[in-house]
Amino acid sequence: MFIAQAHRFPHEFWRYLIGSLLVIIASIVGQIPLLIALLMENGIDSFAGDSQQMMASLDPNLLTFLMLFSFAVGFLGLFGALRGLHQQSFKSVTTTRKRVDWKRILFGFSLVAIFTIVVTFIDYQTNPAHYELNFKPIPFLILFVIAVIFVPIQTSLEEYVFRGYLMQGFGLLAKNRWFPLLMTSLIFGGLHFFNPEVGQMGNVIMVYYIGTGLFLGIMTLMDEGMELSLGFHAGNNLIGVLLVTADWTAFQSESILKDISEPTAGADVLFPVLIIYPIFLLIMAKVYGWKNWKEKLFGKINIPETQLEAEN
């Protein structure tokens, strides 16, 4: 099974702690170009001021590229952790199948992409005063190239760290499935606490971030692999970056539309978590024949006896 297969590799929990630290250090190193660009544009004194204002001083496409670049460097940290600390392949932290199922990745991507496009179009038609057309052909084309290359890198790193690497690490530590599902979701959501959206909409939006982590984790455990979550996360972020931007979001991009409405956190935060995500899970369950939900989400991690004997 997805968590249990990591038992074939060195898996003492201290390795996961050091591996996580390697990813963090690599990501911080990857932020150096952004810091240099901000320093050159604003001067060193501006670092004591409003970070959002500093970010806005950069060209949106340059800012998008530099923010996403750190995730590419972060992947080097994850590669070092898997190879150096665990002697583990990316495939074994991706899926239980013989090979990565790209059709599943495409299905997850398409499901959320189509939904996001349709919902955004309906909202734009229903509430046109909430948007202004932001489309500029050349800047958008540059954004498109940057986003298509780097957004999947960003989302894939997050999936590999939380739904892959740490899901397996916490699972082998606790010898069950609910603990890694809960822990990875809380950490995933918690890391979004410093996003500008939280400052604008309040702490209630953490329900959305933690709920999204739970949704992606359930998807991974039920399907015994990360392919659906890889595709879904990439589709969600990529289409979001290309379609709509706002002054109060983490990414101010050269997207097609700009949301100029006053940000509020209410039903629009709870609706995806309580209604849309369960519907998506039911669709995936129907397509891929998911069964035995209780065991897959709350059951124990069963390590083959041959592996236990080899360890002892």
Q: What CA–CA distances, in Å, run from 306 to 177, 263, 309?
A: 21, 56, 5
CA distance 117 to 256: 12
In sequence order, the β-bridge partners of residue 176 are: 300
Output the CA torsion 240→243→246→252 (10° steps).
Answer: 80
Tens-place pLDDT, residues 149-188 = 999 999 999 999 999 999 999 999 999 999 999 999 999 9
Tell me what the mean pLDDT of segment 17-45 comes to: 91
Please say whether the beta carbons of 51 and 42 come within 8 A: no
Task: Decide: residue 185, CB within 10 A, 0-12 exposed, 13-18 middle, 19+ buried.
Answer: buried
Tens-place pLDDT, residues 41-71 = 887 766 666 666 777 778 999 999 999 999 9
Ordered by start, the domain boundaries in the chain are: 7-301
Tell me what the mean pLDDT of segment 207-221 comes to: 96
Tens-place pLDDT, residues 219-273 = 999 999 999 999 999 999 999 999 998 877 766 789 999 998 877 766 777 889 9
| Coil vs helix vs strand at 33 | helix
Please say whether the beta carbons of 273 and 211 come within 8 A: yes
Tens-place pLDDT, residues 127-141 = 999 999 999 999 999
pLDDT higher than threshold 60 for residue 308:
no
The pLDDT assigned to 310 comes to 46
